[in-house]
Amino acid sequence: MIDTFDLTLPHGITLNCRATGRPGAPLLVFLHGFPEAAFVWDEVLEHFGDRYRCVAPNLRGFGPSSSPAEPEQYRVKHLMADLQALIAQLGEGAPLEALVAHDWGGAVAWTLAALHPELMKRLVIINSPHPALFLRELKSSPNQQAASAYMNFLCRPDAEKLLAENDYARMWPMFTNMGAADTGREGGGWLTESVRDQYRAIWDAGLTGGCNYYRASPLRPPLDADSAVMKVEFPREYVTVRRPTLVIWGEDDMALPVALIDGLDEFVPDMNLVRVPGASHWIIHERPAFIAAEIDKHLHR
pLDDT score for 177: 66
In sequence order, the β-bridge partners of residue 125 are 101, 247
Of 247, 269, 205, the C-alpha closest to 67 is: 205
| Calpha distance 248→273 (Å, rounded) | 6
| Calpha distance 36→174 (Å, rounded) | 11
Domain range spanning residue 163?
3-299
pLDDT score for 83: 98
Do the beta carbons of residue 210 and residue 129 sit within 8 Å?
A: no
Q: Per-residue pLDDT tens for 158-210?
A: 999 999 999 999 999 999 766 544 444 544 589 999 999 999 999 999 999 99
pLDDT score for 162: 98
Cα of first residue to Cα of last residue in the chain, in angstroms, is 28
Beta-strand relationship, 271-276 and 245-250:
parallel
- Maximum Cα interatomic distance, the chain, rounded to a whole number of Å: 53
| Calpha distance 123→98 (Å, rounded) | 5
* Low-confidence stretches of the chain (pLDDT beneath 50): 180-184, 186-187
Say how far residue 283 (Cα) sits from the centre of its chain.
Answer: 12
> Where are the alpha helices (H) located in 191-254, listed in sequence order?
193-204, 208-216, 236-239
Do the beta carbons of residue 60 and residue 52 sit within 8 Å?
A: no
pLDDT score for 288: 98
pLDDT score for 181: 41
Cβ atoms within 10 A of the Cβ of 291, count? 25
Number of folded domains that form the chain? 1
Please report, for the domain that includes residue 183, its CATH number: 3.40.50.1820
pLDDT score for 180: 47
The CA distances from residue 38 to 95, 115, 237, 268, in Å, are 21, 24, 31, 26
| Calpha distance 72→78 (Å, rounded) | 9
